[in-house]
Structure formats: structure tokens, C-alpha cells
A and B are shown apart, each in its own frame.
Chain A
Amino acid sequence: MTDAVATPGASSAFRRLLQRKLALLGLALVVIIVGAAILAPLIAPFDPFEQHFDGLSLVGEPLPPGAPYLLGTDLLGRDLFSRLLYGARTSLIIGVMANGIALIIGTVIGITAGYFQGWLGSILMRFTDLMMAFPALLLAICLAAIFQPSIWIVAFVIALVNWVQTARVIYTETSALAARDFIAAERTLGASTPRILFRHILPHLVPLIIVWGTLGISTTVLLEATLSYLGVGVQPPTPSWGNIIFENQTYFQSAPWLVFIPGFAILVLALAFNLVGDALRDVLDPTLRGSD
């Protein structure tokens, strides 16, 4: 019996996380991206909003990667690298905030419906189905049109669209858990409902929440891009990884890097969170202890 088993807790889980190579890679990527976003004003070689006089070729096309514009310039002659750095701020805020809110809404609704079932469960799940059937984009456009667009409102709108899948999955898992004998045993021991929900059901949902949370980051970033493209998302000239892609997609033939580089950034962000999430799920599960 090792110490890790005798004193299970956040610190030992963190230590075990550090023992995994892939988790370390993911963690390093997350730190780099977050660091770059925070330190953007220090790192960025140019003002992300400045349209450089020499930023376009003689025929008015964006410049390919090279000096002095590290990753080239966009269609208006702005430095792509600087825009990517500032765009990381927007995308991270959207990815983490919108996703976090969506997870919370989805989990609360899923657990409530799954554990209590009955008329309450029926109403909640029918509402979820309704939201699922409703075209997400249309809903987002409506919501964004009602509120004054800002990055926080965009995050909120995306959360309101994105919680449904989480709610569905959490609902199914909770109803399966609620039927297990150990929940029945808790009830016969006189455990209160909050105790059952928080001490015995929620811990089992953590892996699921982590997986959906990390998967949701790429979806969220892309949805923000779509909204920005339609003019109801992050307002130009504020850069976000999504709207950099959409702004520049007309130059896809002649300047493919304008789409590939921000697209790759989104991919790396999603991958990094997925790696960390997977590892977190494993180290937090006591039944997998010692099997790796």
C-alpha cells in the first residue's frame, strides 16, 4: 500500500498527472497558449490592428511568411502573428467561459432530470430535446441580436446553445447510476438527497464532464468563428482565431497559410485540452489505481 492510496487527494492526483508523458505535453501546450495570450502585448512584434503600408504585395495580395512579418500578413496587410497572439485571448475566453457555463447548465439539468425523473425530469428533458431540435445557429443569431455584442455576451450565447449535449449525456448516466444498488443503499441509510447527489453521483460524472468539457473547447471556438463571420460574434477589428479564418478565406487559393495557421492553432488548443482531460479522468478514478 503506497502513500498515494492512503491519502487520496488533489496533491497526489496532481503528482500522478505529472508522471504521464502525454499529460505533460498537453499541460505544456496549455501553459504556452495561455502564456502567449496573457503576454500578447509584450510578445507581439506589431500592433495587431495596424494596416501596414508594406503589408501587401504590389498587386495587393497578402504577404507569405517571412521577414519582417513572421507568419505573413492578412488581406488588409496586418501582421498575422500579432493577430494570432491577441486572438488567443478571445478564443481562450470563449473556449473556457462559454464551455464552463454550458457544462454547468448541462450538468445541473442532466442530474436533476436523471435523478428525480417523474414530471420534473420529463419537462426538463423535453425542453432539452426542443433546444436540440432548434437550429443552434439561428438561436445564437437571435440571442446575439437581442444583446449588444461583446465578447462576454458571445460566450454566454454560445453556452446557451451548447449545454444540450452535455445535459443529454449526464441525464443518461445519472439515470443509470440512480438505479444502482449503492444509491438504494444510501437511501436506506437515511442519506439526504443533496448528500447522494454531491457525494455519490457527482464523483461518478466527473470523467464524463471532463471529456465533454475538453471536447467542447474546439466546438465552442469554431461556433464563435461562425458567429463572428455572420457579424454577430466578436466585432472586428478585434481578432479571434475563428474570425481570422473567415476574414481570410477568400484568399484561400493564393494565401492558404492565412487559413491553415489559425486552423492549426485551434487544433493544438483542442488537442492540448483533450490530453489534459484524458489524463485527469484517469488519475481521478480510484478504480484504475495501479493498473497503468
Chain B
Amino acid sequence: MTTEAALRSEARLASEQPVVLSLRDLTVSVRTQSGLVPLINQISFDLRRGETLAIAGESGSGKSITSLAIMGLLPPPAVRITSGAIALGDQVLSALPEAEMRLVRGNRVAMIFQEPMTSLNPMMSVGAQLIEAIRAHSSLSRQEAQVEAIAALTAVRLSDPARRMRQYPHELSGGMRQRVMIAMALALKPEVLIADEPTTALDVTVQREVLELLRDLQAEQGTAILLITHDMGVVAEMADRVLIMRSGRVVETGEVRQIFATPAQSYTRELLAAVPRMGQGGVAQPRPDTAIVADLREVKVGFDIRGGVLNRVTHRVHAVEGVSFDIRAGETFSLVGESGCGKSTIARAIVGLVPHQGQISIAGQLVGTMTAAMRRQLSTAAQIVFQDPMSSLDPRMTVGDQIAEPLLIHGDQDAASRRARAAELMQKVGLTAAQLDNYPHEFSGGQRQRICIARALALTPKLLVADESVAALDVSVQARVLALLQDLKQEFGIAMLFISHDMAVVENISDRVGVMHRGQIVEMGSRAQIFANPQHPYTRRLMDAVPVPDPTHLRSTSLRPTDEIISPVHRKGTILARNTLIEVTPGHLVAVEA
């Protein structure tokens, strides 16, 4: 990054670039029985060459509908453009027949999606898919297309591109797959790249690399990027201009610095205020002197992989490898780490959903091979709230019945008293008793997560495990659910195990933190110790990678190639190197690589 003056001249330069994509009063409606209902309303913007425009908003704001409308991919026949126009250069896309639109798609406007696994064909090698995409839009021969494809893979900084060409999507990591998607999108040098939540499904460290790659490629090729995202951190890092959307309408639009520094609309201010930020954790509290609720000693979880003619165990997935920690009543302990580090496996082991080795005791009860009675007993001690509120409620049962069900299981035979308790719990989590007879699909994501919390609290557990419980929620909803969890923790004095990949959220909610990497804890200590004084290089890397919702924030640019796929699968009988934790200051443990 350069000085203010240079930035300002850059901005002036950008505004002199030609407009490549422009939307004028675009309205997209869905046909329902009660007539046409607009999904997006009168959206207008211009996108210039070399510019990044971010469309930010929460789920249901219409940002993805906007991108689908530009691509001509609106689901027919119910959803269609009812007024307004989309122009790419001097071509009006919204009036183009499908046959001509197909020539534009991929060639002049390309798109990358959120989920790189499902956007690639698992039955075709990466090379074959790239070559197919290139040849669909050019008259190149197979050999020429192959050369182009390798060049595209090289451009996205994939190591050993010739070998990648022969690999299949499942052989690549999530970050590598998204790079392939970007290579495919950019191979034809489109004028506009639409990136719809391109890094949402990726780990933070991988997200960092993909964002930097997009920025580099934009500088090289001058592509205009339309970035669709819900993450204000990503907006601050990537965008030149921002368009804030809410329920299908533009709330505010402007230069990224202006939006972050002096937002004009109250909705923008609320949205920015809800974003969890690092470095805002409160003052350090001494550890409470209460009873230990959860005690884990040398916990190991592994899954066997069978193979060969005799179906013998050949390999073993070492998901969790010797983890020890304890949580006291009234304390929040967070486990943070990237996907596949074993944090959710620990959560499932604690509530008895996966078998483990080592010792887990919850409120004095050992978790392990349990009889039905012991399992019922454990359920009054530890409860879990899962990540996806959509799938963790039974869609065919009213929420009232579901909240009351644990009471019925545990012997409360009186329907009226169960219902009264369910109503009380609904009010505790900020819903009303009148909603008890509704089904889960009648609630929003945040409300559903509140229902899950109410159900988990019905048995007044000693320990509440929150397994990525806010990850699927919009930021403003996330902030409210986090506040609810804090309140409930204080009211009931329960211990909480908070599992998350989001460093900023963890800093805001935890008393103590454990950082996990490849099945082991690499650093553990109080919130202040971890966030003010991170000792382990992995902890620092995680913290550096978090996008900062501040466009003036300067960061060191270092593109690290992470092409190695770290696999927790090992041949049967392999003994893994175990980290030893060393206490650097009282209560602050840091791993020394064995």
C-alpha cells in the first residue's frame, strides 16, 4: 500500500476507466398466486474496468439474485426481470435471447461460486474441465487449449500445474479447488468476474490467499470484479466501492472508506456495529474459583478406514490426538481452529455421540460406554447446540413439542406443565409462547437457533456445548445470539464450550481459549494471554489471516503457497508425534513441536 495521495490519484484513475457493466433500475420479481412479488427493486450501479464493487448484505437481501440476473441464470419461469436493463458495454443483456446469452456467459462475464466442491464436476479431471470451458468459447484446438489451461493454472499460483491437470476435484483441497474455479473463470479473460461469496466456505488462512490472488489477477488483467459477500471484513479488504443491500433495495452506496468511516444510513451503522472485531475483548477476569464441570484428560478420537479384500483396518483417521482441558462453572472455554482440526469431534465426544479413548468426565460422570440410563443421566449434564439450525430441528414436529420433548423423555408426564416450561423457555430465548405450535420452517435461521438453545436448556445442563452455533447466521443475528448465550450463561451459571473457526467471535465471547491444529491443542490460555501475546506461530497465522473490517488497515502482503494437503489419515499402527505443552506464564500453555 502507498500513501494517501497516491491512493487518491488511483481512485481518480479508476473513475476515468470505461464502464463495463451497468444496471439501470433493475427489478426482478417472482410470480406467486398473489401476483408478482419483487425480489430486488430498482437496482442501479456502474462497474468500471479494473474496479471492485462489493454488494454486501445479509441473507435474503437479494444480492445473489442480482448476480444471477446479470448472468441470465434466474430460475425460469417463476423468477424474471420485470423492468430495468442490464448492459455489458454496449450490449443489452436483459434483452438477449438464451442462445446469444450463452456466448456472453463465461466469455465476457464469468462467475465463481461459494462452494468449489459442488461447482466442479467430480467425474472429470481438472484439465478436462478447463479445456472444455476454453474450447466452448474459442476455436482453439485441443493442444492449444491444453497450453492455455496450463497457463491459467499457473496464473492462479497452483504448484505443478501439469500434474494438477490430471487430478480430479476430490484430490485437491478446498482452497486449491477455488483456485481452479478462478482459473476457469479467468481463462477466457472476461471483462467482468462475478464472485458470489467466493471465500465463505474456506478457512481463514485459505481465504486470505484466495483474496490476495483475486487482487493480483485483477491488477494484471484489469478485470472488473463484482464481489457478493456478507462479510464486512472481506468488503473492507477487497472493494473500491460498496453497495449495501437490504430486502431487495439499495440502502447505501459509496466509496469503501466513506462507507466504513461515515455511514449515512442507520442500517449500515447497525451492520458495521454487529461485525465482531478483534482487539475488543473486555478486561481479563481471573479464573472463577468454581467447581470443574468438564474435565478432559488425554482424549483421543479416531475412525478406522477399512480396505483390501478382507476388509481389514488399514488406516486410521486421527481426528483428535491427546487433548486435555477443563472448564469451570460459569466459564466459557473456546476451541478455535480451521476445518478438520478436530474441534467438532471433541464436541461430539463430550455429549457421547462419538466413542473416544482417554477420559472425559462431565459434572463427575464419566462419558464412555453407557447404558441407556447413563445416557439419560449424561443428557442432564451436557447439551449441545449444532451449527446448522435448519437440520438440527425435526421439520415434522412443532417447536413446542420439540422443546418439551426432553422433559417428556426425562419423566415429566404432565402435558400442561411441559407446555408451561416450553413457553417459559421460549420467552427466555426471546421468542413468544404463541409460536409454540409453529413448525421449524416458519422461523428464520436465527430464531431456529434460539429454539435449539431453548431445547438444550430444557434439562438445565451444567455444560452447554456450542458447536459453531453462530457460524451459519447473519452478523446482526449472530451478535444477538452471542449476547443471548452470554446472558444465559450468567443466569444459569453454566459452563460453556464454544467451538468456532472465527477468531473475532472467540475473542468476544471467551474467558479461556484453546487453539487446535491437526487434532492437538497448540496453545491454550486466558483470552488476554492468547490474543495479546500469541506465542505459537499457528496462532499468529490464524490471527493475521482474519479480514479486518477497516479499509485503512494496512497488512503485510505475503502470498504463501499452501499446496500441501494435510491429511489426518495415517497407516494403521502409526504413532503420531505428540506436542508437548509448556507453560510460558501461569495458565498459558504453548506447544513445542515434538
Q: How far is the CB of A184 from chain B (nearest CB, A)?
A: 6
Contact present for A185 and B441 (CB under 8 Å): no
Q: With A and B bound together, what is the CA distance between A8 and B401 in angstroms? A: 12
For residues 171 through 226 of chain A, which have their beta carbon under 8 Å from a beta carbon of chain B?
Answer: 180-182, 184-192, 195, 199-200, 203-204
- A52 at the B interface (CB under 8 A): no
- A66 at the B interface (CB under 8 A): no
Contact present for A184 and B386 (CB under 8 Å): yes
What number of A-B contacts does a CB cutoff of 8 Å give?
78
Contact present for B379 and A188 (CB under 8 Å): yes
Q: With A and B bound together, what is the CA distance between A187 and B441 in angstroms? A: 22
Chain B residues with Cβ under 8 A from A186's Cβ? 394, 405
Question: Looking across the interface, which residue of chain A has its beta carbon closest to that of B467?
Answer: A181
Question: Given A181-B388, A185-B455, do A191 and B439 touch, yes or no (CB 8 Å)?
Answer: no
Q: How large is the interface on B (under 10, 10 to 19, 20 to 34, 35 or more residues)?
A: 35 or more
Question: Given A188-B351, A190-B375, do A182 and B394 touch, yes or no (CB 8 Å)?
Answer: yes
Q: Say which one of A72-80, A90-98, A134-142, A283-291 lies at the interface with B.
A: A283-291
Q: With A and B bound together, what is the CA distance between A185 and B384 in angstroms? A: 7
Chain B residues with Cβ under 8 A from A286's Cβ? 395-396, 439, 441
Question: Given A181-B391, A188-B353, do A204 and B396 touch, yes or no (CB 8 Å)?
Answer: yes
Contact present for A182 and B393 (CB under 8 Å): yes
Question: Looking across the interface, which residue of chain A has its beta carbon closest to that of B435?
Answer: A1
Chain B residues with Cβ under 8 A from A200's Cβ? 394, 397
Contact present for A189 and B409 (CB under 8 Å): yes
Chain B residues with Cβ under 8 A from A195's Cβ? 409
Q: With A and B bound together, what is the CA distance between A184 and B437 in angstroms? A: 23
Contact present for B452 and A185 (CB under 8 Å): yes
Q: With A and B bound together, what is the CA distance between A182 and B395 in angstroms? A: 9
Q: With A and B bound together, what is the CA distance between A184 and B383 in angstroms? A: 11
- B127 at the A interface (CB under 8 A): no
Q: How large is the interface on A (under 10, 10 to 19, 20 to 34, 35 or more residues)?
A: 20 to 34
Q: With A and B bound together, what is the CA distance between A199 and B386 in angstroms? A: 21
Contact present for A190 and B378 (CB under 8 Å): yes
The answer, among B352, B377, B391, B393, for a CB contact under 8 Å with A188, is B352
Q: With A and B bound together, what is the CA distance between A181 and B410 in angstroms? A: 21
Contact present for A192 and B372 (CB under 8 Å): yes
Contact present for A6 and B392 (CB under 8 Å): no
- B459 at the A interface (CB under 8 A): yes
The answer, among A5, A185, A189, for a CB contact under 8 Å with B459, is A189
Question: Looking across the interface, which residue of chain B has its beta carbon closest to that of A195?
Answer: B409
A-binding residues in B (CB < 8 A) = 348, 351-353, 372, 375-380, 382-384, 386-388, 391-398, 405-406, 409-410, 437-439, 441, 452, 455, 459
Q: Mind listing 21 A-B residue pairs with CB under 8 Å?
A: A1-B437, A6-B437, A8-B398, A180-B391, A180-B392, A181-B387, A184-B348, A184-B384, A184-B392, A185-B384, A187-B375, A188-B351, A188-B352, A188-B383, A189-B383, A189-B409, A190-B409, A199-B397, A287-B396, A287-B439, A289-B439
